[in-house]
């Protein structure tokens, strides 16, 4: 039994890492530029497609991973300059609609280019196989790599934000944008930089997700809604909140799917239990978010905001 | 704004909607009546969402949830009537005198629960919490294996029955929906011009000032949230009758997005705007593929959203006042 729990816990953390990689950009863009970007999930999808296509052509996992990042960065740069930069001064409603329209455009464009058939990717030979953890559970190496990559990104982000001059500007800008601009920081450039960086994290996650899920149109949106739940629980604008929210959501969702049916069977007859548990386990994270918001309407780690 | 111009337009469109079936029959394209019925049903939902977004400044991203509540009420009752089984001791029914009022009551109840929790938050958190409630209901409907789960269920016995009215006749059903639409539209017109309507406008402009003169903004927001939920629930019940089919798709979050698009497309904060928006949206959905096809863009006609997306972005960026603004000039 411990083995099963541990395995599901690791699965949850691994999902949490994906969520964190996508949420990090989302929360930075929201915190710094005050923009809700629904199309952030599309960048995850672009990363996955770039990875699938390049690794299909070259046959090399690592090369594809390295090359897919510039593809995502370029797409993000175009999106930022053409559309997102015009939304900074608009209200949330306009942002939601414009980026919703952007999803329609990108998804339909991807369907035109690559069709509706999902693409599949193999785990690279170097990372296939499992390792034994704590002597109790054998766990796939690839998933462990993902957890490691997520933690590494979290560490790098923390160093940038807490220790560097750039990070100082980002933190200051999140609190009060106008003042930072008055002090001579080139906000337009900083905006683009943050957006592209956030997109690259999402694209990186997309590229890594390839071997675990099917690469298909719409893969970004399902993840995106989960990521919104993460950053809302964590408090919008806070990287720490995003990490905590992502791991919580990842673990709760995975554990819920694995164990809710078992728990319900103890109280209900099997037929009723199986009917309810499917719904209940998908609803669990939304219930969690609603409870958090009702108790703390601005999330667990709200970022102080001037003006 | 020119009021005579406005009321003339309103009366004109009303007459046009009433005469529409004759027109279509004269044109020999009576299949368009089904499109017109969709227009009228969808417009009820759009107007109800505009009460929140346009009049109160509450950006609800989960409005499709109420469509689902209304549709599933009608669908589940019909399912049990067909199977001759009971649900919690109640037998199913096809009677519109029971199904439609019940759909309205249940959507009001669900709106009361969702609203009382969601309205504790503001701004982007409100957008996200309503989105989450919408997702919850979506997954709830998906998990109802008995009622078709993912695939939904057909209403094998056809539409609801009403004394003196045959809803399975498409023209009679069109007038039935049109009557509901006119009733709801009239109610909303009265509502936004009432004292309560002024309160809503004050909430949109400055919540803090309102509470400082002793009007509870929470209570007013909850009231309008429930009213809007009822509108969408009614639209859901009619929509289930229209398609004789109910599936979780109706509560998918992109449905909520579509409703928001319609409100903005037509011009928010005006009741006629969302109706015009619905008209344009359905027109584009039906005819944009045909137009693209006739222009020689065969590939794009299947993927019309590829063209629709950029059009929408341009509208959001540069034509905020929507169709309403084009027709009546800027109002606010």
Give the whole-angstrom CA distance, residue B130 versus residue B53. 13
Residue B330: the pLDDT is 55
The residue ranking higher by pLDDT, B99 or A265, is B99
Please give the share of chain A, as a percent, with pLDDT higher than 90. Answer: 12
Contact B21, B174 (CB under 8 A): yes
Looking at chain B, which residue has its C-alpha nearest residue A85?
Answer: B317
A221-255 pLDDT, tens per residue? Answer: 888 888 888 888 888 877 888 888 999 999 998 88
Residue A228 contacts B, CB cutoff 8 Å: yes
H/E run at residue B210: helix B207-212
Residue B120 contacts A, CB cutoff 8 Å: yes
Query: How many CB pairs below 8 A link A and B?
Result: 129
Tokens of B95: 């009677």
Residue A58 pLDDT more than 50? yes
How far off is chain B from A44, nearest CA to CA, in Å?
19
Query: Which residues 132-161 on chain B approach chain A with CB closer than 8 angstroms?
Result: 132-133, 135-136, 139-140, 142-146
How many whole angstroms from its chain centre is CA A81? 22
Looking at chain B, which residue has its C-alpha nearest residue A291?
Answer: B117
Which string of b and e fits B270-297 if b means at least 16 CB within 10 Å? bbbbbbbbbbbbbebeeebbeebbeeeb
Is there a contact between B313 and A283 if contact means CB atoms under 8 Å apart?
no
Residue A170 pLDDT more than 60? yes
Residue (of A161, A294, A164) closest to B121 by Cα position:
A294
Neighbours of B94 (CB within 10 A): 19
Looking at chain A, which residue has its C-alpha nearest residue B59?
Answer: A93
Please give the share of chain A, as a percent, with pLDDT higher than 70. Answer: 96
Neighboring chain B residues of A96 at a CB cutoff of 8 Å: 59, 61, 127, 257, 260
Give the whole-angstrom CA distance, residue B92 versus residue B23. 38
Neighboring chain B residues of A287 at a CB cutoff of 8 Å: 136
> Which of B123, B143, B310 lies nearest to residue A279, judging by beta carbons?
B143
Give the whole-angstrom CA distance, residue A21 versus residue A199. 9
On whether ipTM exceeds 0.90, the answer is no
Residue (of A119, A121, A108, A122) closest to A216 by Cα position:
A119
Residue A232 contacts B, CB cutoff 8 Å: yes
How many whole angstroms from its chain centre is CA B77? 21
Is there a contact between A229 and B132 if contact means CB atoms under 8 Å apart?
yes
Give the whole-angstrom CA distance, residue A137 versus residue A114. 39
Give the whole-angstrom CA distance, residue A78 versus residue B252. 29
Residue B332 contacts A, CB cutoff 8 Å: no
DSSP string computed for A231-257? HHHH-TT-HHHHHHHHHHHHHHHHHHH
Which of B52, B130, B139 is the best substitution to test chain A (most A C-beta atoms within 10 A)? B139
Is there a contact between A101 and B310 if contact means CB atoms under 8 Å apart?
yes
Is there a contact between A100 and B260 if contact means CB atoms under 8 Å apart?
yes
Residue B235: the pLDDT is 95
Tens of pLDDT along chain B (332 residues) come to 456 677 777 888 888 888 888 888 778 777 788 888 999 999 999 999 999 998 888 889 999 999 999 999 999 988 888 877 777 767 777 787 888 999 999 999 999 999 998 888 888 888 888 988 998 899 888 888 788 778 888 888 878 878 877 888 888 889 999 999 999 999 998 998 888 888 888 888 877 777 777 777 888 899 999 999 999 999 999 999 998 889 998 998 888 988 998 888 888 888 888 998 898 888 888 877 888 778 777 777 777 788 888 888 888 888 767 777 777 765 44
Mean pLDDT of A153-176: 84
Residue A278 contacts B, CB cutoff 8 Å: yes
Contact B203, B56 (CB under 8 A): yes
Is there a contact between B59 and A229 if contact means CB atoms under 8 Å apart?
no
> Which of B257, B261, B303 lies nearest to residue A112, judging by beta carbons?
B303
Q: Which of A35-49, A114-128, B187-201 has the lowest mean pLDDT?
A: A114-128
Neighboring chain A residues of B261 at a CB cutoff of 8 Å: 97, 100-101
Tokens of B68: 């689902």
Is there a contact between A229 and B253 if contact means CB atoms under 8 Å apart?
no
Q: Which of A50-54, A129-133, A254-258, B218-222 has the lowest mean pLDDT?
A: A129-133
A132-157 pLDDT, tens per residue? Answer: 777 777 778 888 888 898 899 889 88
* Cα atoms found within 13 Å of the Cα of residue B118, Cβ hemisphere only: 29
Residue spans of the domains in chain A: they are 2-217
Is there a contact between A282 and B131 if contact means CB atoms under 8 Å apart?
no
Is there a contact between B128 and A101 if contact means CB atoms under 8 Å apart?
no
Residue A127: the pLDDT is 75
> Which of B117, B139, B257 lies nearest to residue A290, judging by beta carbons?
B117
How many whole angstroms from its chain centre is CA A254? 16
The residue ranking higher by pLDDT, B3 or A262, is A262
Give the whole-angstrom CA distance, residue B74 versus residue B95. 10
Is there a contact between B312 and A98 if contact means CB atoms under 8 Å apart?
yes
CA angle A244, A246, A250 (to 5 degrees): 120
Neighboring chain B residues of A113 at a CB cutoff of 8 Å: none
Looking at chain B, which residue has its C-alpha nearest residue A298?
Answer: B125
Contact B220, B236 (CB under 8 A): no
Which of B52, B114, B122, B124 is the best substitution to test chain A (most A C-beta atoms within 10 A)? B124
Neighboring chain B residues of A290 at a CB cutoff of 8 Å: 117, 129, 132-133, 136
Q: Which residues contact B213 (CB under 8 A, 6 or more apart)?
A: none
β-partners of residue A130 are A140
Give the whole-angstrom CA distance, residue B272 versus residue B269. 9
């Amino acid at each position: 039994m411990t083995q099963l729990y541990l395995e599901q816990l690791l699965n949850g953390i691994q999902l949490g890492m994906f969520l964190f990689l996508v949420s990090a950009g989302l929360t930075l863009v929201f915190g710094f530029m005050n923009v809700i970007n629904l199309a952030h999930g599309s960048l995850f999808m672009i990363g996955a497609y770039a990875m699938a296509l390049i690794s299909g052509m070259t046959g090399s996992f690592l090369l594809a991973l390295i090359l897919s990042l510039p593809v995502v960065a370029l797409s993000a740069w175009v999106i930022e300059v053409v559309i997102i930069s015009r939304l900074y001064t608009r209200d949330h409603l306009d942002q939601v609609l414009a980026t919703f329209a952007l999803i329609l455009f990108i998804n339909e464009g991807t369907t035109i280019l690559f069709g509706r058939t999902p693409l599949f990717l193999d785990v690279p030979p170097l990372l296939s196989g499992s390792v034994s953890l704590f002597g109790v559970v054998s766990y796939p190496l690839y998933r462990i790599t993902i957890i490691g990559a997520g933690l590494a990104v979290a560490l790098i982000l923390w160093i940038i934000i807490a220790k560097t001059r750039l990070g100082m500007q980002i933190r200051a800008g999140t609190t009060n944008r106008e003042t930072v601009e008055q002090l001579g920081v080139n906000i337009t450039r900083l905006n683009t930089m943050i957006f592209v960086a956030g997109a690259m994290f999402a694209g990186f996650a997309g590229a890594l997700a390839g071997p675990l899920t099917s690469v298909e149109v719409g893969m970004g949106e399902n993840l995106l809604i989960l990521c919104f739940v993460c950053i809302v629980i964590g408090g919008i604008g806070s990287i720490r909140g995003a990490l905590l929210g992502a791991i919580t959501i990842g673990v709760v969702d995975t554990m819920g799917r694995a164990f809710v049916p078992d728990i319900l069977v103890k109280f209900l007859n099997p037929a009723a239990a199986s009917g309810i548990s499917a719904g209940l386990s998908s609803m669990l994270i939304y219930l969690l978010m609603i409870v958090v918001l009702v108790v703390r309407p601005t999330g667990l780690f709200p970022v102080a905001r001037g003006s | 704004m020119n009021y005579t111009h406005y009321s003339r337009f309103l009366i004109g469109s009303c007459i046009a909607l009433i005469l529409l079936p004759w027109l279509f029959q004269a044109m020999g394209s009576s299949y368009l009546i089904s499109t017109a019925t969709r227009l009228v049903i969808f417009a009820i939902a759009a107007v109800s969402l505009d009460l929140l977004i346009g009049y109160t400044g509450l950006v609800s991203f989960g409005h499709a949830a109420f469509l689902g509540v209304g549709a599933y009420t009608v669908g589940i009752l019909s399912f049990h009537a067909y199977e001759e089984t009971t649900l919690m001791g109640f037998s199913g029914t096809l009677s519109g005198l029971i199904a439609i009022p019940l759909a309205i009551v249940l959507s009001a109840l669900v709106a009361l629960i969702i609203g009382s929790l969601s309205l504790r938050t503001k701004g982007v958190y409100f957008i996200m919490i309503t989105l989450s409630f919408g997702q919850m209901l979506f997954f709830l409907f998906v998990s109802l294996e008995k009622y078709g789960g993912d695939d939904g269920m057909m209403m094998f016995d056809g539409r609801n029955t009403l004394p003196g009215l045959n809803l399975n006749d498409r023209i009679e059903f069109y007038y039935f929906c049109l009557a509901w639409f006119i009733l709801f539209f009239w109610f909303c017109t009265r509502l936004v011009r009432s004292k309560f309507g002024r309160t809503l406008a004050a909430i949109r402009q400055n919540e803090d000032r309102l509470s400082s003169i002793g009007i509870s903004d929470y209570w007013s927001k909850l009231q309008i949230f429930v009213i809007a939920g009822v509108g969408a629930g009614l639209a859901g019940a009619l929509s289930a009758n229209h398609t004789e089919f109910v599936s979780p798709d109706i509560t998918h979050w992109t449905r909520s997005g579509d409703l928001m698009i319609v409100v903005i497309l037509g011009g928010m904060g005006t009741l006629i705007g969302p109706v015009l928006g619905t008209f344009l949206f359905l027109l584009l959905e039906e005819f944009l593929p045909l137009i693209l096809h006739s222009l020689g863009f065969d590939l794009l006609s299947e993927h019309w959203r590829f063209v629709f997306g950029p059009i929408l972005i341009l509208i959001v960026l540069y034509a905020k006042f929507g169709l309403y603004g084009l027709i009546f000039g800027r109002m606010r």
